[in-house]
Every structure is written in C-alpha cells, then in structure tokens.
C-alpha cells in the first residue's frame, strides 16, 4: 500500500495517510518481557483522509470511522470508547503542534479492529503520516515510530513497540526491546521464498492492555515458570528467523505449533482459537497459532504452496463461521511485491 497521496479540487483538499496491518509470526507477549518477536506487515490496512476545517480551532476531530469489519468499528479494542480516541487526538495536537486543531480525519479500514492485526498501531501511524503529509513535511522513520508509539500508548498502556515498529518498517522483522535501556532493535528477515498465510478471526479480543495485565498478574504467582515459558517462546522466534531465511517452511510451521502450545500454557488462547488452529492443520496447514494478544482475535495458518491450499483453509474457516482471508508475507525481492522493506534500525523507547 502506498503511504500517502493527495487529491486536490477547487473547493476541497484531501490528503491521505495510510498504514498496513500486521501479524505476529512468533513471540507475542514474550516480547513484552524482552524476548525476540517476528512480525510482518500484511497487504491490507488503514487509510486516514485529512481535510481542513476553515476557521476551526477545537480539533483535531474525527469525522467518521468506517467499520473495519461488520459490527466492529471501534479503534480501541480495550473498550474505553471515544474517550481514548479524544485523548489520542489531543496528544497528536501536542506532538504535531497547534496547527492540527483545524484538521478533520476520516478513517477507512480493511482490517478488523480489536483482532490483533495492528489496527490501533496502524491508525496511530496513519494519523501521524496524514498530518505530516497535510503540511507537506517529510518525517523520517525514527520520528514516525516515536510519535506513533506515543499515540499507541493511549490505546495500549505500555506496548512493547513491536506493532508500530513493524508497521513503519514494512516487511518482515525480528524485533526485540532491551528491558533495561528500553532500546528496541528491528532487523529485517530476508525471506528465501513465498510464504502464503491464511488469517482467520476468532472474534473480537478483550483488548491488548487487558490481556497483558491479566497475564502479568497470573505470572506473579509462578514467576519462574512463566519466565521459562517466555524464554522458550523467544528461542522459537530466534530459530524461526533462520528457517524463514532458508525457506524451510515445514520447520517454521512446526515452530508455530509449538509457539501456540506456549500461548495456550500462558492462558491467552480460547476454544475458538484452538478450533481454528485444529481446522487449519487438518486442512494441510504447516502450522497455526494465534497472532496478537489472544483471548480472541486473529489466528494465522502457514500454508504450503500447493494449488488452492489457501482457498481450502479460507473455506473451512468460513464454513465454521469465522471471517477469513488469504494473504502472504511481503517478498524480500521488491520486484515481487511493492511493499517497503525495513532497514535494520534501533530506536530508543521515548518513555
């Protein structure tokens, strides 16, 4: 998806800021505790139209938010309603200056909100991009990450940073945040071959902030055991990077199944997620796991390159009553897709 574009007419100026959604292939939750995660952008996302309200000083305002899936149009999966969004817009004004008070945003999304597909981070990135595009200014990736992270914090409290770093970088990255310094490292993962996926949505989740807080509370009672689980997940992510770079998709799938076992042990899976994982494996998926915070939300299935392999799983998910779509990881060879590629970068946690 292109990041920005402009449409001008005699009476209206509309500028668009957009951002893709993301999936987490390995390492959600453990990444909050300093372990590696592997995440990737997907080929659908969010677009924010920015317009100017002549003479207005009370903004910025959100004019419309088109549903990202039937029945779900909330931008804040933690269920705190428009209050959080107002807070995010006020923060945007303090980050980008008083000039944004006359701006109005309309949001269109092709990813479900509250499903672990990065809708709130994509919204944060698209808003910041849209503002800078409106004022015809360049913003570099490090500044974009910092600003989007601040906005994302309004929705998610204390996110690891994996969502918006992936969304700004584009492509597949290995992400890790040092807990001591807060410095984050994003390293590109160079795919050796096409990596087809199917995404199924096991319903809305209860919110990333809620899931992370509840897990932290459960872990306190058995901290050493939970730390072993986080370390195990981190080891899977580190190993999976090599398998992805060598094109060993069968091994990647096996590690995804293991990662899902760990996530179940952490208590963030649900019966619907387990049904989707089992359905995908029965239909030939190489591996399947939840993606994101869990407690609902997205399941990703890694699919072999066979004819109609993705279609069979999409149909099986739909037959079981779940929304689903086929996608693939952005190719490392830019001539294969037009996704932007990440460069290795380190960002400092702004907190």
* Residues forming the active site: 163
Residue 47 tokens, joined: 């677009």
Contact 168, 21 (CB under 8 A): no
Among 3, 15, 18, 29, binds ligand PMV (CB under 6 A): 29
Report the C-alpha gap between 314 and 285 in whole angstroms. 11
Q: Which is nearer to ligand PMV, 238 or 248 (CB)?
A: 238
Site for ligand PMV in 169-188 (CB under 6 A): none
Provide, rounded to whole angstroms, the least separation between the CB of residue 223 and ligand PMV.
Answer: 18
Our CB check for ligand PMV shows the closer of 96 and 162 to be: 162
| Residue 34 Cβ vs ligand PMV, minimum distance, rounded to whole Å | 11
Q: How far is the CB of 95 from ligand PMV (least distance, A)?
A: 20
Tokens, residue 186 = 């994003």
Retrieve residue 5's tokens.
């574009």
d(CA 62, CA 90): 11
Q: How far is the CB of 199 from ligand PMV (least distance, A)?
A: 13
Q: Decide whether 87 or 248 has the Cβ nearer to ligand PMV.
A: 87
x-marked contacts with ligand PMV along 30-59 as a string, rule CB under 6 A:
-xx---------------------------
Instruction: Judge contact between 162 and 39, C-beta under 8 A.
Output: yes
Binding span for ligand PMV by CB under 6 A among 11-19, 96-104, 258-266, 289-297 = 289-297
Selected range binding ligand PMV among 41-49, 138-146, 290-298, 339-347, rule: CB under 6 A? 290-298
Contact between 167 and ligand PMV per CB under 6 A = no
Pick between residue 17 and residue 161 the one whose CB is nearest to ligand PMV: 161
Q: What is the footprint of ligand PMV within residues 219-258 (CB under 6 A)? A: none
Q: Which is nearer to ligand PMV, 129 or 205 (CB)?
A: 205
Under rule CB under 6 A, which residues in 97-156 are in contact with ligand PMV?
A: 116, 118
Q: By CB under 6 A, which span of 158-166, 252-260, 269-277, 307-315 interacts with ligand PMV?
A: 158-166
Question: Is there binding between residue 163 and ligand PMV (CB under 6 A)?
Answer: yes
Residue nearest to ligand PMV as judged by C-beta position: 292
Q: Which alpha helices (H) appear in the chain, and where do they start and end?
A: 81-96, 119-134, 141-156, 162-169, 208-220, 223-246, 249-266, 271-282, 309-319
3-class SS at 351?
A: coil
Query: What is the full DSSP assignment across 88-109?
Result: HHHHHHHHH-GGGGGEEEEEEE
The structure tokens listed for 6 are 């402009």
Which of 257, 258, 252 lies closest to 192 in space, CA to CA?
A: 252
- Of 139, 136, 137, 134, the closest CA to residue 52 belongs to 134
For residues 182 and 348, the answer to whether their CB atoms sit within 8 Å is yes
Task: Report how many residues bind ligand PMV under the rule CB under 6 A.
Answer: 16
Contact assessment for residue 210 and residue 114, using Cβ atoms and an 8 Å cutoff: no
Q: What is the dihedral of CA 23, 29, 33, 36, to 10 degrees?
A: -30
Q: Report the distance separating Cα 259 and Cα 237, nearest Å.
A: 9
CA-CA distance, 259 to 27, in Å (whole number)?
Answer: 8
Site for ligand PMV (CB under 6 A): which residue of 28, 76, 133, 146? 28
Among residues 35, 187, 208, 270, which is the contact residue for ligand PMV, using CB under 6 A?
A: 208
The residue (of 133 and 163) whose beta carbon lies closer to ligand PMV is: 163
Binding residues for ligand PMV, rule: CB under 6 A, are 24, 28-29, 31-32, 116, 118, 159-160, 162-163, 208, 212, 292-293, 297
């Amino acid at each position: 998806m292109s990041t920005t574009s402009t449409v001008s007419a005699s009476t209206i100026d509309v500028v668009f800021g957009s951002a893709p959604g993301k999936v987490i292939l390995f390492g959600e939750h453990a990444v909050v505790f300093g372990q590696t995660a592997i995440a990737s952008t997907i080929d659908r996302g969010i677009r924010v139209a920015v317009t100017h309200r002549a003479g207005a000083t009370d903004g910025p305002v959100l004019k419309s938010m088109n549903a990202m899936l039937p029945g779900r149009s909330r931008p804040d999966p933690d269920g705190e309603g428009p209050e959080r969004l107002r807070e995010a817009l006020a923060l945007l004004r303090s980050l980008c200056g008083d000039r944004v008070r006359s701006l109005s945003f309309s949001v269109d999304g092709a990813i479900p909100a509250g499903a672990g597909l990065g809708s709130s981070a994509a919204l944060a990135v698209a808003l910041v991009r849209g503002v800078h595009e409106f004022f015809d200014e360049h913003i570099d990736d490090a500044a974009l990450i910092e600003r989007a992270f601040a906005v994302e914090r309004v929705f998610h409290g204390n996110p690891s940073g994996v969502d918006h770093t992936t969304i700004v970088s584009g492509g597949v990255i290995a992400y890790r945040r040092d807990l001591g310094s807060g410095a984050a490292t994003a390293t590109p993962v160079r795919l050796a071959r096409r990596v087809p996926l199917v995404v199924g949505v096991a319903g809305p989740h209860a919110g990333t902030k809620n899931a992370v807080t509840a897990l932290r509370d459960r872990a306190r009672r058995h901290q050493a055991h939970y730390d072993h689980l986080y370390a195990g997940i981190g080891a899977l992510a580190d190993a999976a990077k090599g398998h992805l770079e060598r094109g060993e998709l069968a091994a990647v799938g096996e590690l995804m199944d293991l990662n899902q076992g760990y996530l179940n042990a952490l208590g963030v899976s649900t019966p619907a997620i387990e049904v989707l994982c089992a359905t995908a494996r029965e239909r030939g998926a190489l591996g399947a796991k939840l993606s994101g915070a869990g407690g609902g939300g997205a399941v990703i299935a890694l699919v072999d390159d066979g004819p109609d392999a993705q279609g069979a799983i999409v149909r099986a998910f739909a037959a079981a009553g779940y929304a689903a779509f086929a996608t693939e990881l952005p190719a490392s060879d830019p001539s294969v897709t037009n996704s932007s590629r990440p460069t290795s970068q380190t960002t400092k946690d702004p907190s």
